[in-house]
Amino acid sequence: MRIAIIGQQAFGKSVLDAFLARGDEVAGVFCAPEKPGTHPDPLRLAAAEHGLRLFQFPNLKSPAAEGALRALDVDLAVMAYVLQFAPQAFVNIPRHGTIQYHPSLLPKYRGPSSINWPLIKGEKETGLTIFRPTDGLDEGPVILQKRVAIGPGDTLGSVYFDRLFPLGVEAMLEAADLVVAGRHIETVQDEETASYEGWCRDAEAKINWNMHLDFLHDLIRGCDPAPGAWTTVSGEKVRLFESRKHPVRRFGDVQGKPGTIVAVGDQSIRVAAQGGAIEIAKARTEVGQKMTAAAFVKSYGLEVGDRLESVAERKLAAAAG
């Protein structure tokens, strides 16, 4: 089949590579312009390497973007990780229209951080959807879905890179074949079960040590590796990774006030929380490299009994005394 790829970053590149590897004709590639100072877009680099026609329009709503896609005369357009809005006047140009990838089980978790939120909210399952893009946000008819389990130790990174990424590439190929052959079924999304979540950024990734152990663990793993759940130490922002729960079994096993360091091991630390303690294996400051949590507390002079987010006050009080 003759297709156009619309996307960016590593996922867009992998989708491009997959279609080329099986012999499809990629007539052109659309990717967003790169911002100054950012890393080169892997999809753009791959398109250039293969000598493909490349388009980088500031938006896809312009007559220029529509004209470029129309001139390619493709059977299908494939949207692989697209943050630009693509209007119906654009996506309906190919003979068989356009298909789009979204890493959640639509209509649940519409929006840009759809991988983070299922983990943060403690879901046991997520998945991916290939659908028809409409002018609504992730609201078009569903063509294909794949489900994946979320294990208790999974992180954003493991769910995406180990499952949703490779499964998504395969699903794009499968859906493209179904659509071009006219063998697909389009299922309208149920708006009564729909949910929308915005970006998961620093405001959403801030740790509240008074949260229950289960919520702390889900927040940390749902933000691992990005944006990184964070707390403060001596007024500095510190991101925490690779968490593990240690629930208390009896009331007498409670070891300290929430946010207090209760153990420092060779590699990790444990911090008291409602319902037990949370073990943290890795930490990173805003200006440093990721290190073991044990090395981090040592570098800051922290010890058992120190409370995160209040260390600066403790040290000031000690100095004043």
Does the pLDDT value for residue 75 go beyond 50? yes
pLDDT score for 252: 57
pLDDT score for 309: 83
CA 321 to chain CA mean position, Å: 47
Q: Report domain extents, the chain.
A: 2-193, 204-320
Mean pLDDT for the stretch of residues 109-120: 97
In terms of Cα–Cα distance, which of 60, 90, 87, 186 is closest to 130?
Answer: 186
CATH code of 2-193, in short, is 3.40.50.170
pLDDT digits (tens, 9 = 90+) for 213-236: 999 999 999 999 999 999 999 889
Mean pLDDT for the stretch of residues 169-196: 98
Q: In which band, very low, low, confident or very high, does the pLDDT at 310 lie, cut at 50, 70 and 90?
A: low
pLDDT digits (tens, 9 = 90+) for 267-291: 999 999 999 999 999 999 998 899 9
Q: What CA–CA distances, in Å, run from 267 to 196, 280, 296?
A: 38, 9, 10
pLDDT score for 253: 63
pLDDT score for 251: 59
| Separation of alpha carbons 239 and 241, rounded Å | 7
Q: Which residues pair with 277 in a beta bridge?
A: 246, 272
Residue-averaged pLDDT of the chain = 94
Q: In which band, very low, low, confident or very high, does the pLDDT at 314 lie, cut at 50, 70 and 90?
A: very low
The string of DSSP letters for 99-149 reads EEEESS-TTTTBSTTTTHHHHHTT-SEEEEEEE---SSTT-SPEEEEEEEE
Q: Cis peptide leading into 118, omega within 30 of 0? A: no
Lowest-confidence segment of 6-20, 36-50, 166-180, 243-257 by average pLDDT: 243-257
Does the pLDDT value for residue 320 go beyond 60? no
Does the pLDDT value for residue 312 go beyond 80? no
- The CATH superfamily holding the domain 204-320 is Formyl transferase, C-terminal domain (3.10.25.10)
Tokens of 196: 């929308």
| Separation of alpha carbons 227 and 238, rounded Å | 12
pLDDT score for 139: 97
| Separation of alpha carbons 307 and 78, rounded Å | 50
Q: Which residues pair with 263 in a beta bridge?
A: 270
| Separation of alpha carbons 75 and 70, rounded Å | 11
Q: In which band, very low, low, confident or very high, does the pLDDT at 173 lie, cut at 50, 70 and 90?
A: very high
pLDDT score for 110: 98
Would you say 41 and 34 are in contact if contact means Cβ atoms under 8 Å apart? Answer: yes
pLDDT score for 300: 92
Indicate the pTM of the whole model.
Answer: 0.92
Does the pLDDT value for residue 319 go beyond 60? no
Does the pLDDT value for residue 170 go beyond 70? yes
Mean pLDDT for the stretch of residues 124-152: 97
Mean pLDDT for the stretch of residues 71-95: 97
Residue count of the chain, please give it: 321
pLDDT score for 148: 97
| Separation of alpha carbons 240 and 280, rounded Å | 7
Pairing relationship of beta strands 276-285 and 236-247 according to DSSP bridges: antiparallel
| Separation of alpha carbons 268 and 204, rounded Å | 24
